[in-house]
A and B are shown apart, each in its own frame.
Chain A
Amino acid sequence: KAGVTQTPRYLIKTRGQQVTLSCSPISGHRSVSWYQQTPGQGLQFLFEYFSETQRNKGNFPGRFSGRQFSNSRSEMNVSTLELGDSALYLCASRPTAERSIEQFFGPGTRLTVL
């Protein structure tokens, strides 16, 4: 089985712009979670989607949003980018939304905001 894929792998944007990141889960996985990873804050949970519905949400401002499509692919969007949004954005998939099941992480998208 192919692993979790994320596009693009690297992205450079300027303050005020918006960005859309894409995640394709492992085939058959219906849950996709997004995380922001920074050296200072570590891995922080953004949100989780399951069957096209947002199931859980972390403590991030409304500039961070996401969605999931019927084929389980997911996108996250960050509007009005700030310098502090520079981070590695990871998505992770699992077969169901059951939290006791391991997550499979993608390689991440490295976002740099100038």
Chain B
Amino acid sequence: GQQVMQIPQYQHVQEGEDFTTYCNSSTTLSNIQWYKQRPGGHPVFLIQLVKSGEVKKQKRLTFQFGEAKKNSSLHITATQTTDVGTYFCAGAAAGGGADGLTFGKGTHLIIQP
């Protein structure tokens, strides 16, 4: 079945440093979504990418979808303590199919003030 790998598993940064998490799918995706889960909370939708090579920005967050629609990245510029949490990517396989969204295992972002 479809697999979505996400790295790194953990990332420690000093406040103000940049952060990037990467997502790789074993199959071509029709779209990819990103979610953030704060400690003790539930995943909250951040954004969706659909087009090959798409880049979207939300303030300090930049999301990219690869040309082959098999990988994606989330980059945070100048991290703040409010960015703490786990960032998940979730992909839907291209061509339909009986599977739901497949989530990566997430990257835990830990920020040291």
Question: Are the C-beta atoms of B42 and A105 separated by less than 8 Å?
Answer: yes
Contact pattern, A 31-46, Cβ under 8 Å of B = 1, otherwise 0: 0010100000111110
Question: Are the C-beta atoms of A105 and B44 separated by less than 8 Å?
Answer: yes
A interface, over-half SS: strand
Tell which of B48, B103, B104 has the most Cβ of chain A within 10 Å: B103
How close is B74's CB to chain A, nearest CB, in angstroms? Answer: 15
A-B contact count (CB 8 A): 58
Taking residues whose C-beta sits less than 8 angstroms from the other chain, chain B's interface range is 20 to 34
With contact pairs A90-B43, A102-B45 given, residues A43 and B88 touching in the complex (Cβ less than 8 Å): yes
- Interface residue from A35, A41, A100, A104 paired with B105 (Cβ < 8 Å): A41
Kindly state the separation between the CA atoms of A47 and B45 in the bound complex, as whole angstroms. Answer: 19
Query: A residues bordering B, Cβ < 8 Å?
Result: 33, 35, 41-45, 47-48, 56-59, 90, 92, 99-100, 102-108
